[in-house]
Each structure stands twice: as structure tokens, then as C-alpha cells.
């Protein structure tokens, strides 16, 4: 009977989770199933806040709502002087054709907002809804009136870290009306076009063509140069307390008007968007009572993240010239080369300036969560003596030094080696693969299992891999061992023994690149984007275009060399340490120059990726370790 039960259950689950309309072969039900099996997503039976303990889902929802409400700063009065003679947005119209395209691109599986209008309705009825929605959107923008239902948010608590029973370790993610999200997307395009030129290039969060990778590449390269020069850089990592929730609405409106010259109808619309918002928390299908939103921008909305980026943009102006700063939304770090002791004081002055900025803008730093990391190969016997350590301070409290710090998901340590990061990734991937093997026994579909592996396990190896890409065989073998186990599971042969030839053959069948080639692929794709100005990363001064070796025009080589080639790069300095030798630009330039010119000069990114993949699959193609 036990065997019969398992067989029946597997057949039922296979019917539930196979969605032929999903090109990725992974349905929403599958993700729900995986989350239900993961302890990290479950809210405990008992949660607490300020010595109040709750077990009933509805009471828990109200407790979460009380906590989220307490994080708001004081209420705004929205007393902003709006100049309606500002003509910049007078001609702004929302056309049904544009709204139709947005509706057709909606993810139909997205959860409905508090109004209950599902994404499937909006997407499948796009041709009928586009015109009436255009009338609503234009009327709302011109009058500055937004329906209250469009400003109500159902908040889902998402666990961050540490103790799960404490509501203080959760962040609020807002589920808002999908109709309002379509409206927000239209408004965001118009607002961003006006503010784009004023935005600082060192902000990498919530902006097109910017990501964790674009922020980390210049940062890691600068640290590698510091190490190669036998110098030292001190990094200060800042932690805001509830940054998104504490933003003052009055200050947002003031900065839009004065810093970005946004006025008239657009400023009135943003005022209406922020004023009178309300929220309710959902836990276990139970809804809390509603409370007003006094400050902050809704996380999970379309317009909210852009407003936050605009709000925080003037932070860059308080940093001195030789101190570097980089932001990803509210994740802030500054770093400076320490050539002499006075550089410590200059860095401390920048810390003070940032703290003063936070006070003026009604945002609070967590002094205990702010950390310092010194990146250097130098080791002095006096390092541990009090007089040889500069104690950075914030708000009168010392900033703790750490040997390593997680930075946008990447572990950065004092000597810029990535071993601890590899260990973390291998442990996470092994755990995720174990979850797949235990919970996805119901499917025998190789295509589906392949998609499960790529989405849940190997995606861990994709995040910022261009920063930490392993260069030694001993490290690569650990990543390949995870993939080898996954391939056996995909093929339904978990206990088989694969030779290297058999493993390579199965990878080709599954169209999964070996890990070494996948890391090289990621490097080369990013370098193509940099070389073609598709991402905001500049080539270092010591990397430049040069003529390919042996391209001097002679009778013998004139026929085989393309002297118009401008896709060959060379390095003008010689690294003396592994930190710089194995850094992104140095290792990738070598592999880039090994590519055929026809691939390097591909006209489109899509073509480059396809031809590069075919090239990497070529037999007997040897890439240097």
C-alpha cells in the first residue's frame, strides 16, 4: 500500500507541476511546492514583537503590521509649492498602443493585488482594456487623483536573517494593484527621461543596464591594483535601518522639485501617489487591519524604487575626491587607499559627512552593523597594538574591523582571495541539489529536471561570477563535482559512475556547458558589453586597443591579417600578484584575444552569444588555466 500511495502521489504531482504553456517547464505551483519544503520561507508558529507573542495567523498579521508601521518616520504634511506653469509634462499622454504592449508583457502568474484583478485578465484582455485604461490613466494624471484602491498595499513579510521568531528580522514586500503597476510603468518612463542626466553613475540599483556586477567590477579591480602595488585600501560598509520605509515624503517632493526640476503635473501626481497610502499584512491567508503609510516608498512597486534612487542621489556630493563610493540602492560602501596616516582622517571625515547627510535626510545608520575591512597583503607585527590601529567612528561608536564581509552576495576578505566565497557557494548548491532530489522525485522528464537544476542550483554560480571566477583546477573541480551529480540526477542515474568522456557526452546532450567554460562564457559576454558600451563600465587605463601580434603589413601576412581589426586588446602593465593576474580584465583580455575576429566583431549581442557558445563546444579547444 505504501508503494501504491507513492506511485499515485507522484502521478498526481506530475499532473500538477507540468505546465505545457510555460517555456521554462517550471510552473508557479512548483515554486510554491519548493518554498513549502524550505524551512527558510516558513513563518514560525509563534512570533514576537516587544514582548508580545502571537500564534494565530490573523494576530500575527496584525503584529507584523504594527512593527512595519513603527518603522515609518514622522508623517509628512505634503505642503509643496507646485508651479503649474511648468510646461514639461503638459503634453504627456498615455496612449492605448503603449499600454497594450505593457499588458501583453505582463506575467500572468503574478499575484493579484488587493483589488483582486488577476494578471491573466489583464493580459488576455489587453486589446479590450488598453483603450479604457488609457482614458483612466490620462484623467488621473491630469487631475492628480488616484483611486484609493490603487494606493492600498497587501504586504507580505519576507525573512532576512537571524532569528525567525522576531518580526524585526523581516522586510515588507508590497503587493499592489496590477492596474496601478501598469500606470506606474508609464509614468516611470516619463519621469526617468527627465531625471536620467542628473543621476550619478555610481548608483547601480534599479537602473537599466546596471546590476550588482557593474558595481562590483570596478570596485574589485581597484582593490586588486592596490594589492599589486603592495598598498592598502580601507573599506567602510554602511547599513541603513529600514531605508525604504523611513524616506520622508516631504523630502522626496522637495528634491524632485529642486534637484531634478520636476514640477507641475508630474510633481502633483507623485504627491498624490505618496499621500494617503495604506497597507495591510497577509499571513497564512489571513488579513490584518489597515494602517496608514506615513513615509517610505513601497517595496514591490514600479515607481517606488526609482523615487528612492532619486532621493538618495545627493549622497555622492558629500564624499571627498580621492575617496571612492558605490551604491546599489541603499547598500553603501566607501573605500580609500591608505598611503599615509592622514588618509585615515580623510576617510573618517567622509564617514562624518555621510552621517550628517543621514541625519538631514531623516535616515538612520545602524552603527553596530557598519563594518570596516582593510584589504592588503602587508602584515605588520604591530597591527594588533592599539596605537597602530585607526579606529573609525560613526555617531560616536567604533566601527568593527572584519576579516571578511558579504558585499552584494560576494564575500570580500582582507587579501582578496575568494576561497571562503567558493566554500559558501558549494555548500548552498549542495543543499539546493539535495532539496531537488528529495522533492522532485515525482518527475522523470529530463527537460523539466534540467530546468530545475539551472534555475535553482546553477543560478547560484551565475551571480557576479565575473568577480570571483575560479582560476585553479582545485577550485573548479568542486564546482564541476556539483554539476556532475546534477547531471546524473537529471538522467535518472544518481548512483552511476561517469567517466570524464561519458560526462562530457552527457553535457553536450543536455546543452549544459562545463563549469570552466561557463565561467569563461560569462567573462566574455560581459567584456563584449563593455567593449560595445552596453554597460556603464569603463576599461581601465592600462587596457587598450592594440594591433594583433604579427599584423605588420608584409607580402606574406597581408592576405591573412585584417589590419582594420580594432577588437584586440592588450595590457600595458604586468601583474605581480595573483589578485591582479586573476582579476576580470586581465584574465578576460587573454581569452578575448584568443577568439576569432568574426566572433569578437559580432554586430549583436544575441549573435555573439550563439557563436561564442558554438565556439566553446568545439573539440580540442584548450583554454589556459
**Triad 563, 566, 567: Cα angle to 5°:** 120
pLDDT at 84: 84
Mean pLDDT of the chain: 89
- H helices present in 74-162, as ranges: 96-104, 119-124, 126-143
Each residue's pLDDT tens digit, 305-342: 999 999 999 999 999 989 999 999 999 999 999 999 99
- By DSSP bridging, strand 410-413 and strand 404-407 are antiparallel
- The tens digit of pLDDT for each residue in 495-538 reads 889 999 999 999 999 999 999 999 999 999 999 999 999 999 99
Q: For residue range 545-582, list pLDDT tens digits in order.
A: 886 654 444 444 444 445 456 789 998 889 999 999 99
User: In terms of C-beta density within 10 A (0-12 exposed, 13-18 middle, 19 or more buried), how is residue 357 classed?
Assistant: middle
Q: What is the pLDDT of residue 381?
A: 39
Q: Which residue has the higher pLDDT, 289 or 108?
A: 289
Strands (E), 63-192: 152-159, 170-175
What's residue 36's pLDDT? 64
Q: What is the mean pLDDT of residues 125-131?
A: 96
Which has the minimum average pLDDT: 58-67, 437-446, 481-490? 437-446
pLDDT tier, 31 (very low <50, low <70, confident <90, very high otherwise): low
Query: Is pLDDT above 90 for 130?
Result: yes
pLDDT reported for residue 213: 96
pLDDT digits (tens, 9 = 90+) for 1-27: 988 887 787 777 766 665 554 555 566
Identify the CA nearest to 175 among candidates 29, 295, 279, 64: 279
Greatest distance between any 2 Cα atoms in the chain:
87
Instruction: Return the pLDDT at 7.
Output: 79
Amino acid at each position: 500500500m505504501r508503494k501504491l500511495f507513492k506511485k499515485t502521489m507522484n502521478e498526481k504531482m506530475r499532473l500538477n507541476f507540468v505546465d505545457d504553456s510555460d517555456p521554462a517547464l517550471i510552473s508557479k505551483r512548483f515554486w510554491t511546492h519548493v518554498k513549502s519544503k524550505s524551512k527558510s520561507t516558513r513563518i514560525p508558529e509563534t512570533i514576537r514583537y516587544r514582548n508580545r507573542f502571537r500564534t494565530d495567523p490573523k494576530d500575527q498579521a496584525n503584529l507584523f503590521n504594527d512593527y512595519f508601521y513603527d518603522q515609518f518616520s514622522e508623517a509628512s504634511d505634503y505642503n509643496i509649492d507646485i508651479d503649474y506653469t511648468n510646461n514639461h509634462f503638459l503634453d504627456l499622454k498615455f496612449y492605448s498602443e503603449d499600454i497594450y504592449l505593457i499588458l501583453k508583457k505582463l506575467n500572468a502568474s503574478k499575484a493579484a493585488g488587493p483589488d483582486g484583478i488577476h494578471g491573466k485578465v489583464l493580459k488576455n484582455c489587453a486589446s479590450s482594456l488598453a483603450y479604457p485604461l488609457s482614458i483612466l490613466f490620462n484623467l488621473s494624471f491630469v487631475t492628480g487623483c488616484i483611486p484609493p484602491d490603487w494606493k492600498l498595499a497587501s504586504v507580505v513579510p519576507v525573512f532576512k536573517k537571524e532569528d525567525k521568531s522576531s518580526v524585526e528580522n523581516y522586510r515588507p514586500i508590497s503587493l499592489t494593484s496590477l492596474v496601478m503597476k501598469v500606470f506606474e510603468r508609464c509614468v516611470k518612463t516619463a519621469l526617468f527621461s527627465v531625471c536620467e542626466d542628473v543621476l550619478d553613475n555610481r548608483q547601480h540599483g534599479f537602473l537599466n543596464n546596471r546590476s550588482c556586477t557593474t558595481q562590483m567590477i570596478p570596485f574589485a579591480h581597484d582593490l586588486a591594483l592596490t594589492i599589486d602595488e603592495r598598498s592598502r585600501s580601507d573599506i567602510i560598509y554602511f547599513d541603513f535601518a529600514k531605508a525604504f520605509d523611513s524616506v520622508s515624503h516631504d523630502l522626496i517632493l522637495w528634491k524632485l522639485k529642486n534637484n531634478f526640476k520636476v514640477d507641475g503635473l508630474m510633481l502633483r501626481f507623485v504627491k498624490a501617489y505618496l499621500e494617503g497610502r495604506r497597507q495591510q499584512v497577509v499571513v497564512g491567508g489571513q488579513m490584518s487591519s489597515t494602517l496608514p503609510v506615513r513615509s517610505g516608498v513601497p517595496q514591490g512597486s514600479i515607481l517606488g524604487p526609482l523615487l528612492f534612487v532619486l532621493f538618495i542621489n545627493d549622497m555622492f556630493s558629500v564624499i571627498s575626491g580621492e575617496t571612492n563610493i558605490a551604491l546599489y540602492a541603499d547598500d553603501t560602501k566607501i573605500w580609500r587607499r591608505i598611503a599615509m596616516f592622514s588618509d585615515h582622517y580623510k576617510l573618517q571625515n567622509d564617514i562624518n559627512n555621510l552621517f550628517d547627510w543621514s541625519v538631514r535626510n531623516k535616515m538612520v545608520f545602524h552603527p553596530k552593523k557598519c563594518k570596516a575591512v582593510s584589504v592588503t597583503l602587508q602584515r605588520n607585527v604591530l597591527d594588533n597594538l592599539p596605537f597602530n590601529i585607526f579606529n573609525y567612528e560613526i555617531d560616536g561608536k567604533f566601527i568593527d574591523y572584519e576579516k571578511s564581509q558579504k558585499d552584494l552576495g560576494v564575500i570580500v576578505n582582507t587579501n582578496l582571495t575568494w576561497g571562503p566565497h567558493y566554500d559558501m557557494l558549494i555548500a548552498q548548491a549542495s543543499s539546493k541539489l539535495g532539496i531537488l532530489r528529495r522533492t522532485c522525485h515525482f518527475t522523470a522528464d529530463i527537460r523539466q529536471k534540467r530546468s530545475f537544476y539551472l534555475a535553482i542550483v546553477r543560478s547560484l554560480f551565475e551571480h557576479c561570477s565575473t568577480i570571483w571566477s575560479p582560476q585553479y583546477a582545485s577550485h573548479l573541480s568542486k564546482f564541476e563535482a556539483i554539476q556532475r551529480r546534477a547531471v546524473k540526477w537529471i538522467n535518472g542515474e544518481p548512483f552511476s559512475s561517469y567517466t570524464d568522456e561519458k560526462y562530457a557526452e552527457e553535457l553536450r546532450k543536455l546543452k549544459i556547458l562545463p563549469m570552466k567554460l561557463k565561467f569563461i562564457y560569462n567573462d566574455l559576454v560581459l567584456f563584449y558589453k563593455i567593449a560595445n558600451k552596453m554597460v556603464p563600465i569603463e576599461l581601465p587605463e592600462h587596457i587598450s586597443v592594440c594591433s594583433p601580434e604579427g599584423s605588420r603589413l608584409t607580402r606574406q601576412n597581408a592576405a591573412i591579417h585584417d589590419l582594420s581589426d580594432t577588437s584586440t586588446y592588450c595590457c600595458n602593465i604586468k601583474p605581480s600578484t595573483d589578485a591582479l593576474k586573476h582579476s576580470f580584465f586581465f584574465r578576460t583580455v587573454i581569452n578575448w584575444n584568443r577568439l576569432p575576429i568574426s566572433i569578437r566583431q559580432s554586430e549583436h549581442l544575441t549573435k555573439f552569444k550563439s557563436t561564442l557558445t558554438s565556439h566553446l563546444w568545439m573539440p580540442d579547444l584548450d583554454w589556459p588555466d
